[in-house]
């Protein structure tokens, strides 16, 4: 009796299972249209999830992070799934599917299984962690041209930095002398050699010297800068930087600073003997080294004559130097006129690299001896001068200007003979230690409104630029001692309506520019100039 019952139950279960199978298989055909729509909806939802995830991952990657392999695998699987679903849906309207129950059954079964696969893929989309921090190299290599004559200086700097008592080191020297190149060599030396630093940070400071931009550069280097950081205040960013550098041995390389940089205000802990951190900076001013309270300061000097010739020869190229037997001799003379300044050697050398006739080289020699007006096109091609906003005017890079002033002032020996304070937001004529040596002064582009009595001892002044200020009046005694003044430019001072009577004392004046001023009448006696 018991056996019969057992057989009856077994048969019931079998029949039930068979019934379910037949029902499921029948639904492949009966619910085909419904399942196709379900597949379309599920696939679109999957695509939306994929797009959202990709957006979030991209934001993480902008911060310097790297997407996880599991995230990338899921995104790739979604892409494959979309392709498979599209291919399957395209087949729904074909005659092959609709011509028989068997083909509709097979197609319906594929649609059903694909729905399950899409749902499974959707269920795995909840990524709590999407990215990871990318292991950063201690230093990021900087691209520099082949250098000459700086190896010994670079080794001296690096050796000094290895001393425990040296926390801050300043490199000073005129613009174009190679300070940035030297600092780049220091940076790159930590890329290729074993060292104990956790991170080497490079920051270009420049003249504007904004704390916010310095903080941004540091945060980017540490891999922690994104949209959320932009809304933080300066002190909040400083706190974050301090926390990130806490316990780390850093080297901070600050290129081209013009005044004291308060690194603690930025958030960088001060270098100490205990933390063994280092700060190295470049500047054009020795005074900045004092303001930064350096442990060591080093002057970056021009190249010796042999090194200067080697650099110039490299820039010109042997092919050009050997194109005429007389070119090497002239080339050496031109190299000497650069006085060892790398900027001049590089720019002039590269300019002359395409000049293969002795006539061109002789012309260049003459131009460097006595500057010619028609050389401006050559200077533009050499990037010594730059075109200014599609006008007939040209502008000069500040470093090139400094080089020109340096050479003109007898290799810097008579640097006090030039006073150049253009665009410095001055409200008055600056104080000068010794007016008796000043020959040329440029105060253009400032905010000077009134000029009071002229200083005593300006007999050697031959050029004075005061254009583009806010001049309203000039003292009656301003010009009284300027007996050698030959060039005076007062243009673009629209509020200036009259000149002092003592302008008639400028007996050597050869050029006077009053364009774009309010002056309509000249003082009595001006016609005698």
Mean per-residue pLDDT, 403-431: 72
Q: Which two tokens stand for residue 470?
A: 């806010």
Residue, of 510 and 228, whose pLDDT is higher? 510
Average pLDDT, the chain: 82
Q: What angle do CA 344, 348, 352 make, to 5 degrees?
A: 165
Cα 289 to Cα 173: distance, rounded to the nearest angstrom: 11
CATH architecture of 414-529: Alpha-Beta Horseshoe (3.80)
Q: What angle do CA 224, 225, 229 make, to 5 degrees?
A: 115
List of E strands, 87-134: 131-133
**Number of Cβ within a 10 Å radius of residue 369:** 11
Pairing of strands 418-420, 440-442: parallel
**Number of Cβ within a 10 Å radius of residue 415:** 15
Residue 517 has a pLDDT of 93
Cβ within 8 Å of residue 240, ≥6 positions away: 219, 224, 229, 232, 267
Cα–Cα distances in angstroms (integers) from residue 226 to residues 116, 127, 200, in the given order: 39, 20, 20
In this predicted structure, the answer to whether residue 10 has a pLDDT above a threshold of 60 is no
In this predicted structure, the answer to whether residue 157 has a pLDDT above a threshold of 50 is yes
Residue in 250, 255, 249, 251 with CA at minimum distance from that of residue 183: 255
Q: Which helix (H) or strand (E) holds 376?
A: helix 376-381
The residue to which tokens 């000097």 are assigned: 301
Cα 261 to Cα 211: distance, rounded to the nearest angstrom: 8
Class of domain 151-299: alpha beta
In this predicted structure, the answer to whether residue 134 has a pLDDT above a threshold of 80 is no
Residue 319 has a pLDDT of 94
- For residue range 460-476, what is the model confidence (pLDDT) as tens digits? 899 999 999 999 999 88
Residue 341 has a pLDDT of 86
Residue 61 has a pLDDT of 80
The residue to which tokens 């001896």 are assigned: 369
In this predicted structure, the answer to whether residue 135 has a pLDDT above a threshold of 70 is no
Helices (DSSP H) in 296-374: which residue ranges? 305-316, 318-321, 327-336, 342-352, 358-369
Burial (CB count <10 Å: 0-12, 13-18, 19+), residue 9: exposed
Mean per-residue pLDDT, 314-319: 94
Q: What angle do CA 249, 250, 254 make, to 5 degrees?
A: 160
Residue 388 has a pLDDT of 55
Q: Which two tokens stand for residue 320?
A: 């050009």
Residue 509 has a pLDDT of 92
Q: Which two tokens stand for residue 210?
A: 């904004």
Adjacent-strand bridge partners of 67:
131
Cα 520 to Cα 126: distance, rounded to the nearest angstrom: 79
Residue in 177, 148, 186 with CA at minimum distance from that of residue 283: 177
The residue to which tokens 């037949």 are assigned: 22
Pairing of strands 463-465, 418-420: unpaired
Pairing of strands 394-396, 385-387: antiparallel
Q: How many residues does the chain have?
A: 529
- For residue range 57-66, what is the model confidence (pLDDT) as tens digits? 888 887 767 8
**Number of Cβ within a 10 Å radius of residue 364:** 21
Cα 179 to Cα 173: distance, rounded to the nearest angstrom: 7
Evaluate whether 315 touches 290 at the Cβ level (below 8 Å). no
Confidence of residue 372 (pLDDT cuts 50, 70, 90): very low
- For residue range 280-308, what is the model confidence (pLDDT) as tens digits? 999 988 999 999 999 999 999 989 999 99
Mean per-residue pLDDT, 144-148: 79
Residue in 517, 433, 520 with CA at minimum distance from that of residue 471: 517
Residue in 165, 73, 63 with CA at minimum distance from that of residue 127: 73
The residue to which tokens 């379900």 are assigned: 38
Cβ within 8 Å of residue 209, ≥6 positions away: 257, 258, 259, 261
The model's pTM? 0.56
Ordered by start, the domain boundaries in the chain are 12-133, 151-299, 305-402, 414-529
Cα 372 to Cα 416: distance, rounded to the nearest angstrom: 25
Q: Which two tokens stand for residue 3?
A: 């056996």
Confidence of residue 516 (pLDDT cuts 50, 70, 90): very high
Is there a common fold for 151-299 and 414-529?
no
């Amino acid at each position: 009796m018991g056996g019969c019952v057992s057989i009856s139950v077994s048969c019931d279960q079998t029949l039930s299972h068979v019934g379910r199978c037949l029902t499921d298989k029948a639904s492949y055909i009966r619910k085909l249209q419904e399942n196709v729509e379900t597949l379309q909806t599920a696939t679109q939802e999957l695509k939306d999830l994929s797009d959202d995830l990709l957006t979030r991952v991209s934001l993480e990657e902008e911060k310097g992070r790297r997407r996880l392999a599991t995230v990338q695998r899921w995104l790739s699987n979604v892409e494959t799934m979309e392709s498979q679903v599209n291919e399957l849906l395209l087949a729904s309207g074909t005659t092959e599917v609709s011509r028989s129950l068997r083909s509709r059954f097979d197609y319906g079964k594929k649609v059903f299984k694909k729905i399950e696969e899409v749902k499974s893929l959707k269920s795995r989309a909840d990524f709590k962690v999407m990215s990871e921090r990318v292991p950063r190299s201690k230093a990021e290599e900087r691209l520099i041209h082949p250098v000459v004559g700086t190896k010994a200086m670079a080794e001296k700097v690096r050796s000094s930095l290895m001393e425990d008592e040296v926390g801050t080191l300043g490199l000073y020297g005129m613009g174009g002398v190679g300070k940035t190149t030297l600092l780049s060599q220091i940076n790159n030396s930590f890329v290729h050699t074993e060292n104990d630093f956790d991170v080497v940070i490079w920051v270009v400071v420049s003249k504007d010297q904004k704390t916010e931009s310095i903080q941004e550069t540091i945060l980017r280097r540490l891999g922690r800068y994104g949209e959320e950081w932009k809304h933080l205040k300066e002190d909040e960013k400083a706190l974050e930087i301090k926390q990130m550098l806490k316990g780390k041995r850093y080297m901070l390389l600050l290129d081209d600073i013009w005044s004291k940089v308060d690194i603690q205000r930025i958030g960088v802990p001060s270098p100490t003997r205990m933390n063994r951190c280092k700060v190295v900076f470049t500047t054009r001013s020795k005074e900045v080294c004092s303001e930064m309270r350096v442990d060591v300061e080093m002057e970056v000097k021009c190249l010796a004559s042999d090194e200067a010739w080697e650099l110039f020869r490299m820039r010109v190229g042997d092919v050009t130097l050997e194109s005429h037997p007389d070119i090497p001799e002239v080339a050496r003379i031109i190299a000497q006129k650069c006085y060892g300044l790398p900027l001049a050697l590089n720019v002039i050398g590269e300019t002359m690299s395409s000049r293969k006739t002795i006539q061109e080289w002789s012309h260049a020699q003459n131009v460097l001896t006595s500057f010619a007006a028609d050389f401006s096109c050559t200077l533009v091609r050499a990037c010594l001068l730059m075109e200014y906003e599609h006008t007939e005017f040209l502008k000069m890079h500040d470093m090139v200007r400094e080089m020109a002033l340096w050479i003109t002032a007898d290799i810097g020996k008579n640097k006090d003979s030039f006073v150049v304070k253009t665009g410095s937001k001055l409200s008055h004529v600056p104080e000068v230690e010794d007016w008796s040596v000043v020959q040329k002064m440029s105060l253009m582009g400032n905010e000077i409104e009134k000029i009071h009595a002229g200083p005593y001892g300006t007999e050697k002044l031959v050029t004075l630029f005061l254009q583009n200020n806010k001049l309203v009046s000039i003292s009656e005694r301003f010009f009284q001692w300027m007996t050698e003044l030959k060039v005076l430019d007062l243009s673009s001072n629209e509020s200036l309506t009259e000149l002092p009577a003592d302008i008639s004392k400028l007996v050597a004046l050869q050029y006077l520019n009053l364009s774009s001023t309010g002056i309509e009448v000249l003082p009595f006696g001006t016609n005698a100039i």
